[in-house]
Amino acid sequence: MKIVDASVIVTSPGRNFVTLRITTDDGVTGLGDATLNGRELAVVGYLRDHVAPLLIGLDPHKIEDTWQSLYRGAYWRRGPVTMAAIAAVDVALWDIKAKVANLPLYQLLGGASRDRVRTYGHASGRDVPELFDSVRARLEQGYKSIRIQTGIPGLQRVYGVGGSPDVAPDGWVRPLVEDWDTAAYLRHMPTVFEAVRNEFGPELPLLHDAHHRLTPQQAARFGKDLEPYDLFWLEDCTPAENQEGLRLVRSHTTTPLAIGEVFNTVFDFRTLVNEQLIDYVRAAVTHFGGVSPIKKLFDFAAQQQIKSAIHGPEDISPVGMAAAIHLDLAIHNFGIQEYAGYTAATEEVFRHAYTFTDGHLHPGEAPGLGVELDDELAAAHPYAPAYLPVNRLADGTVHDW
């Protein structure tokens, strides 16, 4: 069996997705997610111009060898563009291997370690009453664990609470500019969690994402202030590049910590795992180089009693989500899976075997990933420029996350 084609499909059924399809001489196809939110076309160029030509003629069953070749052969290692491209290849090859074996991918990863995959959903609101409505909506959808995000009094636009991109007079889409006030955030959020606990009780698992906005000292104080509300975790409390800063946070709060969605390799986690500075690793299959390396990360994390929590917002395509669910079902140290759902148009473009029932996911029993992409429908949703927001302080300074 040889690879005869590697094509890149870009589609935007609500938001942009980049998909790699690898085809063998036997007609078996595999899909991989290469989406990098706000920088999608950079990965498209990397795949089309530098990676796809190298795949032609290779044996698709040599997954580890291909991964090492793409990672080491480029000389310029790591980084989100490189690792998203490699992830797409790796996941597509696993998809092919499982299809040839006529087994769902999780069976090739050691089989199921659980019956279903626990998830958490997103609830947000501009104020507390609107947040309560969002929480109730998630509960009605079946979610058993919920991430809480809300607006901050005095701030007009806050990341994670909604907002539309800015369109300049010349028609170009530019990043949404949001305002920020750390002191106001630190004062307000504990009152939000107090209100949520009073409304929904002590048993509902609650999560919160600080989106890297705090210094280690601020994060330590924040984690301590949130302890009475028994969070499932506090996510990305401080910029993850400063791994040593988590020592200060860890020493001052027992609130569980989750970090890693912007990490691309196991080297980014080394200090955090070895020193047990976090409780959950948040890497994404799509941005971490694929199934092969992230499974190794989870094995590494398990040695320090750290659990998985694969990044899974709407900008991870159903292909990347399916790969995550197969891993979740198989690994021993599974924690929780982020799942925000998709637009109806996305569900039509990406037909999938995985299911969401009663707050839990299951990958299904279809061979491979269990995802197929409809080329005609994908073509009906062309790429649309979109970017993540930029935070600015009151004086106009770009906020250093």
What is the token pair recorded at 74? Answer: 């480029």
Q: Find the angle CA(236)-CA(241)-CA(247) to the nearest 5 degrees.
A: 70
HSE at residue 135, side-chain half, CA atoms within 13 A, is 25
**Nearest to 105, CA basis, from 332, 328, 391, 336:** 328
The CB density around residue 288, as the number of other CB atoms within 10 Å, is 30
Classified as helix, coil or strand, 20 is: strand
- For the chain, the distance separating the N- and C-terminal CA atoms, rounded to the nearest angstrom, is 47
Q: Is 39 exposed, middle or buried (0-12, 13-18, 19+ CB in 10 A)?
A: middle
List active site positions.
159, 211
Q: Are 337 and 307 in contact (CB under 8 A)?
A: no
Q: Find the angle CA(217)-CA(223)-CA(159) to the nearest 5 degrees.
A: 90
**Nearest to 207, CA basis, from 191, 198, 196:** 196
Provide DSSP, 148-211.
Answer: EEE--TT-S--TTS----EE-TTS-EEPPEEE--HHHHHHHHHHHHHHHHHHH-SSS-EEEE-T
φ, ψ at 324 (rounded to 5°) = -65, -45
Provide DSSP, 115-163.
Answer: SSEEEEEEEEESSHHHHHHHHHHHHHTT-SSEEEEE--TT-S--TTS--
Q: At which residue do the structure tokens 């009094």 appear?
A: 153
234: β partners: 208, 257
**Nearest to 322, CA basis, from 347, 305, 359, 297:** 347
